[in-house]
Structure 1
């Protein structure tokens, strides 16, 4: 029984401004028509497996669930991490959950994947998994080593030892090298990029954790002893999980175990860790430019130009990244894009919000776009999906005016419930209990004008909510 475990945590700060803390890299559509998470699930088609387990942060749960639904992908649960504790504990939670739900005497084999990797050759990926499966069934902990194509200094490496069929023993895991060392690794032919993908029995991973990092597995067992499940989300005990040490699977297990094997994978893999890496894997025009959206490029070359909302026009530039979103513009030399995370750190230190959220914010019921801000007013465009309903709520510091642009709104305003249709409006006084629902089969579009002394999203008192946010 093979269960894919897809790790969808992380913030992907190096792809700012597209990637934000509340809408990180794994949910972006950077190549093709599917998001990176959706691509990760889609490439499993053709491998015999059970519905995957997903692991993500509590605050990303609705985005993850919605992307799986839109892609038509089944899952066997979405484990919610109340706090980030790195990959070793996350995978431990998945292993415990897989054993908990397995049939008697079954020991699930876990295929651990990151949700934010690109793989161009699905057939080669699947072939490597099939080659690794006998070793995992034999109790080995298998990691997949990417056949290197360049002296990359941004990846860790795996030094392969003795060949044993389709796999190799592992001499050592190596940290990110300098350029000269990376070139020697490449020339030797004995080193692979560390992909962060793994295959092993659930029980074997737990056994190795007990030997090499017992504090992690003890904390995870306690966290999984009291789980709550609703809408496919699996919530672990927060207090117990907060006591878990923070460590990666490489440090906690793979570098210490005597039963680790590496299976080579040559599948056009990239972890898309920067704008330059995304440029590398994207389709380019005759001037070696990658363009997305509304872009006019004259006498410009080797660039990455992404327009979300406005026209980008370039003249006579080379090796430049320009990324435009509704609330931020990044201009960077392609050779310096690793330093984008410095901008993210600066935004955090300045108390700004552009590192955390987009102007357009997705919710389980739809989305809203903050169009305009004033000292005591804010204008939003709100989209409510058919059949969806916002929580029954009230605000202490603001009143709201709703104008329906298209569709029909079912409005609860105090003790009254009524319909508001296109070109009609209603007013929600400060302190009034209210709710908004779309009873129709088409999306509901409305403009919301907020007025008051405080307009933050935390000025919400929820009384009832179908999405468990009370």
Structure 2
């Protein structure tokens, strides 16, 4: 039995403006019209003798992750919440400790299949065959990584040099090497001895912890202490923030894989990509005869080798080539395909200028539904709010703003001070400044309403919560 561990942290800043800090690439439908990258990762586990996945994600993504897992058929998905990012070695340690503890006195070391939530794998059968090849090695105590058979000289990936052949497509790891320059990458490709480092692993939970104790006991000790002081909230495991914040940052490659004498690699040729940039997405996308990949409302004239994603309006191109054009409701990116690695510099500048476009989209997801900030100005803001059936916003009040609610469809159950009443289609209600209030959808269809806020300060931090069914403070 394999225990899948899916790492769903990270912000994917090189895929801005589609990927944002509060809605990063692993939760986006980048390569599939129906499923997000996380959901595709979960789907490719079907057919493997495996337990339900264990997810590791950031605290701020917990409801988004839980909802997408629910949509994938896991209503009570197990999710470990990292209060802050500390790279992959501590994250995997938390999962290994959790699995080892659950195994209790079992003689068999639980096998962890560590996957990233934001990778594309086109050939699922080859991926599953690679896992099957790795299981005997992991049972023998090897720490197995999966190396991707390179299709070209790539400078954006680390490499693994193969050593002695173990069996079939599995080898001893000779060495790990950093991202090379183009000349070195071409030599690696020509030699046939090098594989791309995928960041996927299979090993025993206790075996990994033993190697971590040997090479980075400081990381292990802090992870143990942070998990001992963790709290359970719904189906989330909240790692102790004050303890975990003291943990050193380190990747599993540096902390363990480059130091252990038990590293093995399985060659994998499965149409893999980490979709690390817009040019990488263009590489794996279906294209028209001119080499274009379009999504959304796009009109092109004399356009070639261009990626366009139109989210909310018509995007027209004339006489362009080798561009990336990404349109969202609040931002537009135009970049040459050769310069897309620099998109993260734009994100850094947005942060530095105190703007908000790196943080979230105009549409913001909440555990109860979603809101879209459709207009704002001096002392007012207008939102379109959708509340799922049975969902309820927190009991709250605001110091600086009043709110008007106009129901467009469905029925709202409103608590307004001491009064509780229903508001139906084409009806409205008013919430004064300082009034304790809440909003609930008691019906079986979505509740949609328009909220008009007015006041001297309209920030999302002007919320005093008194009660919340989702555990928010």
Work out whether 1:445 is the aligned partner of 2:448.
yes
Work out whether 1:190 is the aligned partner of 2:190.
no
Work out whether 1:7 is the aligned partner of 2:10.
no
User: Structure 2: how far apart are the matches of 1:71 and 1:240?
Assistant: 33
User: Structure 1: how far apart are the matches of 2:226 and 2:182?
Assistant: 42
| Counterpart contact for 2:154–2:185, Cα < 8 Å | yes
**1:161 counterpart residue number:** 163
**1:372 counterpart residue number:** 375
Find the residue that maps to 1:450 and give its secondary structure.
strand
| Counterpart contact for 1:323–1:329, Cα < 8 Å | yes
- Deviation at 1:171? 1.0
**2:256 counterpart residue number:** 253
User: After the TM superposition, which of the residue ranges 64-73 and 356-365 deviates more from structure 2?
Assistant: 64-73
| Counterpart contact for 2:30–2:36, Cα < 8 Å | yes
Find the residue that maps to 1:169 and give its secondary structure.
strand
- Deviation at 1:104? 3.0
User: Structure 2: how far apart are the matches of 1:104 and 1:380?
Assistant: 54
**2:361 counterpart residue number:** 358
**1:227 counterpart residue number:** 230
RMSD across aligned positions (CA):
0.8
| Counterpart contact for 2:401–2:458, Cα < 8 Å | yes
User: Structure 1: how far apart are the matches of 2:381 and 2:335?
Assistant: 32
The 4+ residue runs of structure 1 with deviation greater than 4 A are none
User: Structure 2: how far apart are the matches of 1:286 and 1:309?
Assistant: 25
Q: Unaligned regions of 5+ residues in structure 2, if any?
A: none
Find the residue that maps to 2:299 and give its secondary structure.
strand
User: Structure 1: how far apart are the matches of 2:132 and 2:75?
Assistant: 22
- Deviation at 1:107? 2.0
User: Structure 2: how far apart are the matches of 1:310 and 1:394?
Assistant: 36
Residues paired across the two proteins, number: 470
How is 1:308-387 mapped onto 2 (pairs within 5 angstroms)? 308-387=311-390
User: Structure 2: how far apart are the matches of 1:326 and 1:218?
Assistant: 45
TM-score (norm 2): 0.98
User: Structure 2: how far apart are the matches of 1:152 and 1:362?
Assistant: 36
| Counterpart contact for 1:51–1:74, Cα < 8 Å | no
| Counterpart contact for 1:52–1:74, Cα < 8 Å | no
| Counterpart contact for 1:141–1:199, Cα < 8 Å | yes
Change (3 A) 1:163 1:256: same
- Deviation at 1:230? 2.1
User: Structure 2: how far apart are the matches of 1:387 and 1:286?
Assistant: 48
User: Structure 2: how far apart are the matches of 1:293 and 1:58?
Assistant: 32
**1:40 counterpart residue number:** 41
- Deviation at 1:102? 2.1
